[in-house]
Structure 1
Amino acid sequence: MKTIKGPAIFLAQFMGDQAPFDTLAHLAEWAAGLGYKGLQLPTDPRLFDLSLGAKSQTYCDDIKGLLAQHGLAITELSTHLQGQLVAVHPAYDPLFDNFAAPHVRGNPAARTAWAIEQLTLAAASSRRLGLSAHVTFSGALAWPYLYPWPQRPAGLVETAFAELARRWHPILDAFDDAGVDLCYELHPGEDLHDGISFERFLDAVDQHPRASILYDPSHFLLQQLDYLAFIDIYHTRIKAFHVKDAEFRPSGRQGMYGGFSAWQDRAGRFRSLGDGQIDFGAIFSKMAQYDFPGWAVLEWECCLKHPEDGAAEGADFIRRHIIRVAERAFDDFAGSAVQQEQIDQLLGLTR
């Protein structure tokens, strides 16, 4: 069995203009001071430049060296924003345009090509950094048609997933060439948001060996999906792990759809670690049981608690939940060196 690595923290929610959140060096010092051992890096040029990382081993070594000065390692690179842009339904064009480089905004075809190139650069960068996994979003073409009213035309979902696979298959091949697993965060708003949609995608990309999962139980709790059974079903594809809490408290007025309420007023909302309903003891136990090979990474999102408090509490929370796996069976002391002849005798067998 393997002991999960950690604690680590995803830096996307902490980047800012003021120290200690303004540079990678400052963020590294801050995170190490809280007790984190790993950083999941958004591929924002302020933290990591994909164009440089893909072509320069020196640049990648310098980034790793900077973090090593603080006792930190890179867990994964993140292209959540770029992955989102691999597939965008036209209804969301104006909202997602700001995720793209300025020179492709207003041009959906150019934006998609740019996003695909970004993912290809991420594969090369991950290889130079010696990483085994990468985290991203799938994007969405079918999401506006999630609820079948009006009735969906026959073939709409199949066509959407065929197109999603057409765009992602070459990217998955690039990650395969780099020796890196591509982990999709299954997330509402993405076409890949639960087990069934992930299975549909797997079929469309011919069960690609690099198509993997970033496991985040908070999104499953808000969908009322069994997040523990999910690990039993998909553990061979889970290669990354966001430790994020959530709560779901439906009322006579609202349920999982939330009635367009603000986050703090929704029945389902994200919470800082330990403030929600997720059974992390059971999750970490299953991760140990199935030899999860990666890092436990805090993704902080909470509509109530200050982010710095969430980050400070999160490191200790994860550390307490990581299970240092046993090197031998607990009942080895009672074992005996039984020979085959004795076994046959115990079973009443004659040979």
Structure 2
Amino acid sequence: MRKKVVDGVSWVGKIDWEIRTAHGKEYSTHKGTSYNAYLIEDEKTALVDTVWEPYADEFVANLQLEIDLDKIDYIICNHAEPDHSGALPALMKLIPDTPIYCTKQATMSLPGHYHQDWNFRPVSAGDTLSLGKNTLTFQPIPMVHWPDSMMTHLSGKNILFSNDAFGQHYAHELLFNDLADQCTLYEEAIKYFANILTPFSPIIKNRIVDFLATALPVELIATSHGILWRKNPEQIIEQYLQWCDAYQEDQITIIYDSMYNSTKVIAETIARGILQHSPATQVKLFHAAKADKNDILTEVFRSKAVLMGSPTFNKGPLSSLSALLEEFRGLKFMGKKASAFTSYGWSGEAAKEMLAQLVDAGFTTTDEGFRVHWRMDTDERAKALQFGVDFASATF
């Protein structure tokens, strides 16, 4: 069933309440998601994007209830990723000659996914397509977050179909930001940026600046996932510019794993030391093997500094920490400080190994880490407390 966005523009996507991971198993979707597709009906009719492949038949069947498919004059494919384009094969079987407007890169990635030579119409920045009273303007945004990505602006209605920019994985029947829970919306938006878009922050900032330079008015941002921004849509653009700029809050995140609670006690003691030095600082602790990976990465994105703790196991950290350190390297967090700690029995290389990986991931280390042989005694608890004080002092 279609949902009205504005006169002449309808949402015709799919709300997925059940999904709990996206990008395979890489991204947790506690709040579900949506695959947003839009139908623009003017003198000509354009369909903007489709839905994920598992819902392709449902999408096409529902679309047929809303419009004679032969009346769709144009398809706009802002992005070839299958959660955007997955219904194209089912749709194109019924309207095979309909032109698909997309970037030049998408004319390679779409056939790569679906092995079909459809009627592609590659576009460049500033190219336009008249629908009658309203005009589409295309704005490629390569590496936000794929090379084939683009945004599409609808004049007259002043809608920006923003693709993966400004979205969230958040299922909501009422579509719009002013009708959503504001805390949940913000949390899902920052999680989306932190886990998916952070590696491209400098590029995203430039792409936003490029779009703003076009002076195309924006009264509504129609995202590819989650909530649409109709009340003060500038707020999410401004937020993205902040997130792109080595974003930090007054927070230190401690991430640890522990075999017999020795490393856990060290983490909690260091946390008390941090708060002793900086009582107003937000300090968050996560057990790496128990907490959700993407939630941890979101908190790292927010933080000024990070502490990693693990017992030494096979001359290094436990696998839960190693996996997160690899995520750090890929996400390219900027301007953050770090250190590491370990509890060990026969050797104590874990802290040194984690420090090296933190440096490789772009963090600035503040010291040589903290090591405890076996479990802490009274003197070592005092040293751990002081380590927290010193780490906070080096951070702020």
TM-score when scaled to structure 1? 0.27
Larger radius of gyration: 2
Task: Please state which structure has a larger fraction of its residues in helix.
Answer: 1
Task: Please state which structure has a larger fraction of its residues in strand.
Answer: 2
TM-score when scaled to structure 2? 0.25
